[in-house]
């Protein structure tokens, strides 16, 4: 794909996919319009970089679709002074977008090769306000810090509170809960030390986060 066609595809992605999914925050649109998404996809899928689909990146994981990424960013309401925790580094693209909007991002992934590849891509784009960590965050992530926003980039079969206590007061937790084919996007806000509000936002689908707890048994 030529550079001119790449820019047209990026423009169409924002106008036809992201805006039509009610992503209208100017700061979110700006980062999606300028971040080179094509540099974060596997080379053999480069021509699909701006498609309205989840792209496979290995380990049965996917790169989120552009509209999913846009909605997660808009819901999190990230500001330039904020510390953000991302669960599921994946390709590193959403990490890069968050880094553009926040003061600092800590991004965790279960797979070391995802961390290595994302680190190379972020370095190539001169994005330096990111700390990458390998770890199992399926049941939560407690590194002793509190974050202004937490974005969980994999689905949770059921809602658990493993991330709730890592929020600052006023902090936002964005996650996808449920079972395929219909899962629910939630915004959880910590309104006091021991109080959280929950808002249901949209329906979507994501692969389940590795080792996310599942306590209920389902009969088919």
User: What CATH number has the domain bearing residue 35?
Assistant: 3.40.50.150
Q: What is the pLDDT of residue 217?
A: 58
Q: What is the pLDDT of residue 126?
A: 98
Q: What is the pLDDT of residue 219?
A: 44
Answer whether residue 214 is part of any domain.
Answer: no
Q: Which two tokens stand for residue 207?
A: 């692969």
Q: Which two tokens stand for residue 191?
A: 């309104």
Q: How high is the mean pLDDT in each 10-residue block of the chain (220 residues)?
A: 84 96 96 96 94 96 96 97 98 98 98 98 98 97 97 96 97 95 95 97 93 71
As for how many domains the chain has, the answer is 1
In terms of residue numbers, what domain contains 76? 3-204
**pTM of this prediction?**
0.95
Tell me the pLDDT tens digit for each residue of 161-203.
Answer: 999 999 999 999 999 999 988 899 999 999 999 999 999 999 9
Answer whether residue 52 is part of any domain.
Answer: yes
| Contact status, residue 198 vs residue 187, Cβ threshold 8 Å | yes
Q: What is the pLDDT of residue 1?
A: 65
Q: What is the pLDDT of residue 96?
A: 98
Answer whether residue 155 is part of any domain.
Answer: yes
Answer whether residue 140 is part of any domain.
Answer: yes
Q: How many residues does the chain have?
A: 220
Omega of the bond leading into 173 within 30 degrees of 0 (cis): no
């Amino acid at each position: 794909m030529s550079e001119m066609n790449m820019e047209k595809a990026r423009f169409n992605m924002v106008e036809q996919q992201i805006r039509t999914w009610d992503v209208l925050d100017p700061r979110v649109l700006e980062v999606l319009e300028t971040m080179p998404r094509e540099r974060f996809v596997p080379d053999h899928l480069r021509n699909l970089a701006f498609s309205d689909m989840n792209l496979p990146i290995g380990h049965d994981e996917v790169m989120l679709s552009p509209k999913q990424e846009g909605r997660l960013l808009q819901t999190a309401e990230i500001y330039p002074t904020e510390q953000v925790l991302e669960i599921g580094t994946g390709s590193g693209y959403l990490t890069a977008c968050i880094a553009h909007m926040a003061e600092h991002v800590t991004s965790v992934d279960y797979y070391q090769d995802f961390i290595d590849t994302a680190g190379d891509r972020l370095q190539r784009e001169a994005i330096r306000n990111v700390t990458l960590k390998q770890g199992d965050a399926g049941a939560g992530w407690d590194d002793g810090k509190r974050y202004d926003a937490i974005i969980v980039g994999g689905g949770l079969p059921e809602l658990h509170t493993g991330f709730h206590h890592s929020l600052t007061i006023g902090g936002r937790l964005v996650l996808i809960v449920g079972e395929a084919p219909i899962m629910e996007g939630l915004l959880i806000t910590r309104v006091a030390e021991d109080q959280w509000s929950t808002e249901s936002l949209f329906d979507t689908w994501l692969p389940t986060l590795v080792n996310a707890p599942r306590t209920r048994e389902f009969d088919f």
